[in-house]
């Protein structure tokens, strides 16, 4: 549940910025990483691989 809340909060933050549509996805990803204290150099696979 934490990840969904973090994602929704990141979307809310990024929606307040004046960005072109094509930059929205990258901005949300960067904001989620910032809010979740994920190192920008790490890949998402490192944090989502539960096997």
Q: What is the pLDDT of residue 3?
A: 67
Prediction pTM value: 0.69
Domain positions in the chain are 2-48
- pLDDT digits over 1-51, tens only? 456 788 999 999 999 999 999 999 999 988 988 888 766 665 555 555 555
- Tell whether the torsion through CA atoms of 14, 15, 17 and 18 is positive or negative: positive
Q: What is the pLDDT of residue 23?
A: 95
């Amino acid at each position: 549940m934490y990840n969904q809340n973090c994602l929704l909060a990141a979307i809310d933050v990024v929606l307040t910025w004046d960005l072109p549509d094509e930059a929205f996805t990258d901005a949300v990803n960067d904001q989620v990483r910032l809010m979740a204290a994920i190192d920008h150099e790490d890949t998402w696979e490192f944090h989502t691989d539960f096997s």
